[in-house]
Amino acid sequence: MLIAAAILAIFVYGVIAAMLGTLLPTFKFTGPESGSIALAQSIGLVIASLSAGPIIDNKGKKTALVSGLFLIAAVLWALPNVAGFTMVAVLLFILGLGGGIIVTAANALVGDIKYGNRSTISNLMNLFFGVGSMATPLLSANLFDNNAQSLCYFAAVMASITFVVHMATKMPPPTGEQGFKVAEIGLLVSRPALWLLSLILFMYVACEVGVFNWLSSYLIAKGVPEAEAQNILGWRFAGGLVIGRVLAAGILTRIPGITVLMGAAAAMAASTYWMLADPASAGIAVLCAGIAMAPVFPTVLGLVGDAFPVATATAMGIVITCGWIGLTVSSSIIGSIAGEDKSNLPAALNIFPICSVIMLVLLVVLSMVQKKPAASAARA
């Protein structure tokens, strides 16, 4: 039941992660309005993930998961019945709150599943994020005929089922060793590794969720029919995430996580640049980008868990929060550069390869920081 609960929560988060990018073309908002809606959702993610860690450490994962799923289900049932920029922005903010809670809690729950190393199991569980993010655009294009109401109701049903499963699932309670203690916060934030991992996720989320939010609009602006654009997002990008996480789970049993992340960052830079430079072959480039990005989020969280065995959920909450801040910043930048008619959207999306290169530099620095304690221990 614990494995089923984790899979369902991660699947639901995948569904809602791809929701905004799938719905934006149907909303017909301007570039700045679309950016503001993405900003509202990302602010909700920031607030939730920042507060979710201490709640999980003190109150347990079940409390966080059922609360987040309740918010998500409520928003998805309500969204088809509202109109106008303000109401959509408010609901997307609340959806961000629910999403931020469950992504932190679900990944903390994965840590209770004892199988192999943490990065491997994290990648195996998080491939269901890819399955969920595939489902949203593919069902929208091929089953619901890009009908926003039908898509929202499908997602609402899935969130409601997952809520019931989590209510019925017995989960490990917080313990004295795992619970967050205020006295530990100074030690936690004084570690350079925490902030390097946070900045890495800042850059990564700007890319991954940015592609989910803006790829369909970019392809449509390039003359791709809406249904085809949604299929590229689903089959190629989200499909690449699934393929990549299956591959990464095996690779991480033989190659250190930091090495895998360096290769992923380099591949992200190349594939996202290719995606924007040659729209004619965007489908192949998008697939490569999905495979390249696949191991990053779960592997970073695996490294956080390894580095911070005490107050793990709080450390994850800080790192994930910085990821959502990256989305917040990038959403505003992309929306502003894109313009009222989104004519400058291709130029705005150059933020993806730029962030990938910065991520690679940060990973090099992190590897150097990790080697210093090991060298000191060897000398001792």
Give the ranges where the chain is alpha helix by DSSP (H): 2-17, 19-27, 31-59, 61-78, 85-110, 118-142, 148-168, 185-189, 192-221, 226-231, 239-251, 257-277, 282-293, 296-307, 312-338, 345-348, 351-379
Residue 119 has pLDDT above 70, yes or no: no
Residue 179 has pLDDT above 50, yes or no: no
Tokens for 343, please give them: 């004519």
Q: How far, in whole angstroms, is CA 73 from its chain's centroid?
A: 19
Domain, as residue range, for 258: 2-167+188-370
Residue with tokens 């910043």: 329
- Under 8 Å between Cβ of 359 and 326: no
Residue 180 has pLDDT above 50, yes or no: no
57 pLDDT tier (thresholds 50, 70, 90): confident
Average the pLDDT over each of 68-72, 184-188, 215-219, 278-282 and give the range with the smallest value. 184-188
80 closest CA partner among 158, 17, 152:
152
Residue 197 has pLDDT above 70, yes or no: yes
Residue 179 falls within a domain, yes or no?
no
269 pLDDT tier (thresholds 50, 70, 90): very high
CA distance 228 to 226: 5
For a pLDDT cut of 70, what percent of the chain falls above it? 90
Residue 290 falls within a domain, yes or no?
yes
- What is the residue-averaged pLDDT of the chain? 85
The larger pLDDT score, comparing residue 215 to residue 378, is at: 215
User: What pLDDT digit, counting tens, does each position of 75-100 carry?
Assistant: 999 998 888 889 999 999 999 999 98
> Would you state the pLDDT for residue 245?
85
Q: What is the pTM of this model?
A: 0.78
73 pLDDT tier (thresholds 50, 70, 90): very high
Residue 340 falls within a domain, yes or no?
yes
> Would you state the pLDDT for residue 230?
87
Residue 10 falls within a domain, yes or no?
yes
> Would you state the pLDDT for residue 270?
97
Residue 96 falls within a domain, yes or no?
yes
Q: How far, in whole angstroms, is CA 59 from its chain's centroid?
A: 24
Q: Please state, in angstroms and as integers, the Cα–Cα distance from residue 89 to each residue in 100, 191, 246, 265, following that order.
A: 16, 36, 35, 32
Residue 380 falls within a domain, yes or no?
no
Residue 172 falls within a domain, yes or no?
no
67 closest CA partner among 77, 56, 78:
56
User: What pLDDT digit, counting tens, does each position of 316-342 carry?
Assistant: 778 888 888 888 888 888 888 888 777
Residue 178 falls within a domain, yes or no?
no
The larger pLDDT score, comparing residue 104 to residue 360, is at: 360
CA distance 128 to 7: 6
User: Total structural domains in the chain?
Assistant: 1
For a pLDDT cut of 90, what percent of the chain falls above it? 33
CA distance 79 to 16: 12
Q: How far, in whole angstroms, is CA 146 from its chain's centroid?
A: 23
> Would you state the pLDDT for residue 116?
57
- Here the CATH number for the domain that contains residue 221 is 1.20.1250.20
> Would you state the pLDDT for residue 178?
47
- Under 8 Å between Cβ of 193 and 307: yes
